[in-house]
Amino acid sequence: MAVTVRIPTPLRKLTANQSEIEIDGETVESLIGNMEASYPGIKDRICDESGKVRRFINIYINEEDIRFLDGTDTAVKAGDRISIVPAIAGGLVDPGGPGCQDGPGVLGGPGGPRDSG
Q: Which residue has the higher pLDDT, 83 or 110?
A: 83
Instruction: Give the span between the Cα atoms of 41 and 45, in whole angstroms.
Output: 7
Q: What is the largest CA-CA distance in the chain?
A: 66
Domains and CATH numbers, the chain: 2-86 (3.10.20.30)
Q: What confidence tens digit (pLDDT) does each residue in 58-91 have?
A: 999 999 999 999 999 999 999 999 999 998 766 6
Compare 93 and 80 and report the one with higher pLDDT.
80
What does the DSSP 8-state code read for residue 14?
G
